Amino acid sequence: MLIRREARLTPHWGSLYAVDVRSFCLFVRSVLLLSAVSLGLISRDGLMAAEASAGLAQTLRSGTLSDHRTADGIALFVPSGEPATPFLVSGPFTSAWSGELSVDLRGEYSFHGLFTGHLKISINDTVVLDADGKSPAWIDSAKVRLNKGANKIVAEYSAPTSGESLVRVYWSGKEVPFNPIPVGALSHSASADIAAANQLRRGRDLFAELRCSHCHTTAGGMPDLAADAPAFGGIGSRRHSTWLAQWIANPESQRPGSPMPALFHGADAAAHSDAIAAFLSSLKAANPPSPAAPSTAELVEAGKSLYEKLHCVACHVAPEDTKADPAKISQKQVLAKFKPGALVAFLRKPSEHFAWIGMPDFKLSTDEASQLAAYLESAADKPSERSIPSDDALILKGKNLVQNSGCLNCHSLDLPNAYKAPALASLKPDAWSAGCLAASPAPESKAPRYALSTADRQALAAFGRTDRSSLTRHTAADFLERQSVSLNCRECHGKFEGFPAWELLGGKLKPEWASRFIGGSESWKPRPWLESRMPAFPTHAALLGQGLATAHGLAPVTTADDAPDAELAKVGHKLVGTSGGFACISCHSVGDFGATQVFEAPGINLSHSFERLQPDFYRRWLRNPVSLDPNSKMPAYFDEDGKSALADVLDGDGPKTIRALWEYIRLGSKMPKPE
């Protein structure tokens, strides 16, 4: 039995449905499993019998092409004319999710879907939902008995022949409010298909991360292919020549995991590195950084406090920590690397000379940057006493090496580039285990040498065996999956106070606001009372904001809301007040009107909620805040049946009451002063 309710892509106020909670799983485990199979360490049968992984197995197909991955939920949004994944072509496609859904107690549940195209859901091999979503329409299954423990779940989706493709699936039960199925309740068996697909994704990601296309030119499409490297202009005013020489000679020794290769080998390597360092040191800026003020104990202490408030340890090893962490960047070499005053300038604007840098912009004041620099320098290693000659002959030699060694393929400088490499299309599959990717290069080889693991080399070789057409395609969700790992988003979100759980963000924030906030152009801070602050990633922001939405089955551009309802807005105005309302103003400010009560956890200013929140998330939050955040101080004003605690307002109609509050909130800066 199916229950159909007509709906639009604009908010459906008659139902309190929630967006799905979806994050992306890392590929590492699957890659290692596949490598173990290829090396004969475990059998294919052993791989299939390996421990189950969280989430569902997802298979997407378009024509003869297929892609396999792990999904944290049943959700996707593919804009018209775009592929579902970079490994498929644009046009009609199918997606199937399969695995097990586990519950602690036997009970009856319902499944709900909003989609275009066709969706079929089976539980324990019984079809519970099978329908077209042409409107699109919310479609509910009849109640389904789930057994205690694992229950087989399969969802099969066919995209429409044209237009955008959308699917979001939720569940509900007696003790479960309308929510996406949590990833912790989903599992699937390890799959060789997923392991192989993850290996291809890793190879593609590495191709972009290592700037391979800057030498081996190819048609673009993948945004990361345009990623730059630190600009050479004026670098002599920012970096010490000795550090430059060490970096050029062996980047991996200075920063493990660096995408920069070692360009020179053999007897001349050190001399070539010194020559390039001498040339780069001769490139002075017209306005070099001013030397920092003398350090004091007070300045160092203030810097340490700021370092802790900004949670720098999410990406870095604390300066005084003697234990190395290969997953984090050491700051022990700041004295050797930065010239006087250059560290302060870098901290104030990290992307000034490197747009795609992973270091975020915290919008530091000069005083704050000076404090951090003093703290970092106080615990840094002493720089080498070796000096690099700066005679004209060495500088000229370095200039020629820069022009002829491939440096200008990645680094910008107003200088002719004489280095050429074969175009990507000319590289045969066997070339992907030779040259710069050779595991054991010949001593006479002049190819750059990358510090890659065996698994990374295998991933690049596997990608090289494809037609590489996936480089011409991209999706915002794919960009998010890759860059959220690279930028360490999960090292803060859900781990520190004031940082919402990563899994909630895409279903919570409108993509436009998320992009502004991530990019650092949003002047308003949602939680101004927190000492921590959101860092800015201006180059990545737009695609991250869109990816957060599409990965959760939401449009990358916010769909139009229903027409305003002035009468309901008046009711909402009353509801936020203390006279016959919910007394929202006890904790929440409304514009310049401050919260009225002493409280443990202040609420966010309501005047910004409409521009910030997805309508579905707002409804789900108001209906049951604790289901989203177990630590929330927000009370629940609606019972299990959705009835409002204020029975004399709108007859206690829950959806209509929630809509009334939304109509008031959507007035934003024009919200009348609460009663």
What confidence score (pLDDT) does residue 2 get? 41
What confidence score (pLDDT) does residue 32 get? 42
What confidence score (pLDDT) does residue 319 get? 86
Q: pLDDT tens for residues 264-309? A: 999 999 999 999 999 999 999 999 998 888 899 999 999 999 999 9
What confidence score (pLDDT) does residue 45 get? 41
d(CA 135, CA 166): 12
What confidence score (pLDDT) does residue 583 get? 93
With both helix axes pointing from N to C terminus, report the angle between 269-281 and 392-404 in degrees, rounded to the nearest 10: 100
CB 567 within 8 A of CB 574: no
With both helix axes pointing from N to C terminus, report the angle between 541-550 and 511-519 in degrees, rounded to the nearest 10: 150
CB 459 within 8 A of CB 203: yes
d(CA 348, CA 520): 13
d(CA 169, CA 122): 13
Q: DSSP strand E in 174-253: where?
A: 186-188
CB 173 within 8 A of CB 109: yes
Q: Provide the CATH topology of domain 2-190.
A: Jelly Rolls (2.60.120)
3-class SS of residue 126: strand
Q: pLDDT tens for residues 34-69? A: 444 444 433 444 443 345 799 999 999 999 999 999
CB 495 within 8 A of CB 231: no
Q: pLDDT tens for residues 477-487? A: 999 999 999 99
CB 255 within 8 A of CB 261: no
Residue given tokens 């890392």 in the structure block:
26
Reading the block at residue 221, the tokens are 């499409």
The DSSP code for 381 is: P
With both helix axes pointing from N to C terminus, report the angle between 192-209 and 28-38 in degrees, rounded to the nearest 10: 110
Q: What are phi and psi of 147, to 5 degrees?
A: -80, 155
Distance linking the first and last C-alpha atoms of the chain:
47
- Mean of pLDDT values over 599-628: 90
What confidence score (pLDDT) does residue 315 get? 94
- Those residues whose C-beta lies under 8 Å from the C-beta of residue 378, and which sit 6 or more positions away, are 295, 300, 303, 319
Q: Where does 566-670 sit in CATH, by number?
A: 1.10.760.10
Longest dimension (CA), the chain: 89
d(CA 157, CA 45): 29
d(CA 511, CA 518): 10
CB 362 within 8 A of CB 349: no
Whether residue 182 is preceded by a cis peptide bond, meaning omega within 30 degrees of 0, is no
Tell me the chain's radius of gyration from C-alpha atoms. 28
What confidence score (pLDDT) does residue 531 get? 87
pLDDT at 138 over 90: no
pLDDT at 638 over 60: yes
DSSP character string of 220-286 = --SGGGG------TTGGGTB-HHHHHHHHH-HHHHSTT-SPPB---STTHHHHHHHHHHHHHT---S
What confidence score (pLDDT) does residue 599 get? 64
Q: What count of other Cβ atoms lies within 10 Å of the Cβ of residue 601?
A: 12
d(CA 431, CA 426): 10
d(CA 420, CA 217): 10
Q: pLDDT tens for residues 336-393? A: 999 999 999 999 999 999 999 999 999 999 999 999 999 999 999 999 888 999 899 9
What confidence score (pLDDT) does residue 547 get? 98
pLDDT at 25 over 90: no
DSSP character string of 538-590 = TTTHHHHHHHHHHTTT--SSPPPPPPP-HHHHHHHHHHTSSSSS--GGGT--B
d(CA 370, CA 346): 11
Identity (one letter) of the amino acid at 657?
Answer: T
Q: pLDDT tens for residues 483-500? A: 999 999 999 998 988 888
Percent share of the chain, pLDDT over 70: 92
What confidence score (pLDDT) does residue 414 get? 96
Confidence of residue 443 (pLDDT cuts 50, 70, 90): confident
What confidence score (pLDDT) does residue 51 get? 54
Domain segments of the chain as ranges: 2-190, 476-550, 566-670
- Mean of pLDDT values over 18-32: 37
CB 185 within 8 A of CB 175: no
146, β-bridge pairs: 107
d(CA 91, CA 85): 11
Per-chain mean pLDDT for the chain: 90
d(CA 621, CA 290): 50
CB 247 within 8 A of CB 260: yes
Q: pLDDT tens for residues 62-104? A: 999 999 999 999 999 999 999 999 999 999 999 999 999 999 9
Q: pLDDT tens for residues 184-238? A: 999 999 999 999 999 999 999 999 999 999 999 998 899 999 999 999 999 999 9
